[in-house]
Amino acid sequence: MTFSVKFGKESAMEPKKTRGKNPIIDTIYTADPAPMVCGDTLWLYTTHDEDELVNNFYTMVDWRCFSTRDMVNWTDHGKVFSLDDIEWADDRAWAPQAVERNGKFYLYCPVHKKNGGMAIAVGIADNPAGPFKDMGEPLVDEGDWNDIDPTVFIDDDGQAYLYFGNPELRYVLLNEDMVSYNREVGVVKIPMTEEAFAKGGHMTGTTYGEGPWFYKRNGLYYMVYAAFAEGKGRNEHLAYSTSEHPTGPWKYGGVLMTEEGGVFTNHPGIADFKGHSYLFYHTGELPGGSLFHRSVCVAEFTYNEDGSIDTVEKCDGVDPVE
Ligand code: FUB
């Protein structure tokens, strides 16, 4: 059985009868999963690791989109945004996140600028499957290399937050238009303390590495991120911190997914969908998988009564939902 979706050009992927199977996508290499729930559909935006590498490094030129209504059958919407659509960018189509506001869809994407350094681009579309159109200039461009891995969240009072960063976690307060931010507040640097992110091996001396994912549940704010334990040669694991306020102070919560069995990077995306909580992540487990050839997976998890989360195991798939 396959289903059709209302938006865009789609192709139904191989139907799966009973359980969803990891990696979710086995036709291309994908990484940096960013789920977005819209009504009865979960949309999954990913980066795309090209088969052929340039300079033996991440070779990534476009962003892909997939959707599901049951966590088992997925529809491939193909390329929804690419470096070719961003006149001022030339490389590194890295980890995105999408959000809907007032009937428009915004895809926040780190890219390498033609004149050097990383910055955050915004693609805008009328439906979740794109095509996304670049807003024409960087949204965040501090002139350093920290401006990667944006995560966006609109709070109950309407204030939207865009967190991002490697090695530092930073944020801006997005304006209602979602394509500009409060310049008086500017780019705020989160104090990179051990209380917030635990002692770790990344450049700030904490575990916080990159790939933040910001959301709120039952009045508690969560920051989930790719993290580095102390010591040399460690792969990234996933960890989380919480706060009673959207801008911190943050308190370290624990390890969400261990580094074992993965590749150097990992990248979290969290969504509640049809009464279940999901952690999307990536591994190198497709045939030919490697540091630069990753694939997106998903695991179901539950919260403890106090809002804490136990370590989630990498798994081979999830059950269907209705
Ligand atoms: O995929 C490219 C980069 O690697 C992402 O931006 C990081 O989060 C890491 O996954």
HSE-up of 226 (CA within 13 Å, CB side)?
Answer: 29
Atom of ligand 1 nearest to the CA of 49: 1
227 Cα to the center of ligand 1, angstroms: 12
Atom of ligand 1 nearest to the CA of 294: 1
Mean confidence (pLDDT) of the chain:
95
Task: Give the 3-state secondary structure percentages of the chain, helix then strand then coil, rounded to 5.
Answer: 0, 45, 55
Between 321 and 15, the more confident residue is: 321
97 Cα to the center of ligand 1, angstroms: 12
Q: What is the pLDDT of residue 259?
A: 96
Q: In the chain, pLDDT over 90 holds for what percent of residues?
A: 93
Using alpha carbons, list the distances in angstroms from residue 257 to 161, 179, 270.
25, 33, 13
269 Cα to the center of ligand 1, angstroms: 12
Are the beta carbons of 40 and 273 closer than 8 angstroms? no
Q: Tell me, what DSSP letter sits at residue 143?
A: S
Between 188 and 16, the more confident residue is: 188
Are the beta carbons of 19 and 318 closer than 8 angstroms? yes
Are the beta carbons of 202 and 192 closer than 8 angstroms? no
What is the rounded CA–CA span in Å between residue 186 and residue 173?
8
Q: What is the pLDDT of residue 12?
A: 65
Nearest to 261 by CA among 241, 239, 289: 289
pLDDT in tens, 55-97: 999 999 999 999 999 999 999 999 999 999 999 999 999 999 9
- Residue with the smallest CA separation from ligand 1 atom 3 is 94
pLDDT in tens, 198-243: 999 999 999 999 999 999 999 999 999 999 999 989 999 999 999 9
Residue to substitute in 29, 30, 45, 47 for testing ligand 1 pocket (most ligand atoms within 8 angstroms of CB): 47
66 Cα to the center of ligand 1, angstroms: 19
Q: What is the pLDDT of residue 17?
A: 60
Atom of ligand 1 nearest to the CA of 47: 1
Output the six-digit token pair for 73: 């059958």
Q: Is the pLDDT of residue 3 over 60?
A: no
Ligand 1 site residues, Cβ closer than 6 angstroms: 31-32, 47, 58, 94-95, 110, 148-149, 210-211, 226, 265, 267
**Reported confidence tier of residue 261, pLDDT bands at 50, 70, 90:** confident
The H or E element that residue 124 is part of is: strand 118-125
pTM of the model: 0.95
205 Cα to the center of ligand 1, angstroms: 20
Report CA Rg, the chain: 18
- Residue with the smallest CA separation from ligand 1 atom 9 is 265
What is the rounded CA–CA span in Å between residue 222 and residue 252?
10
3 Cα to the center of ligand 1, angstroms: 31
To the nearest 10°, the Cα dihedral for 143, 146, 150, 155?
-90
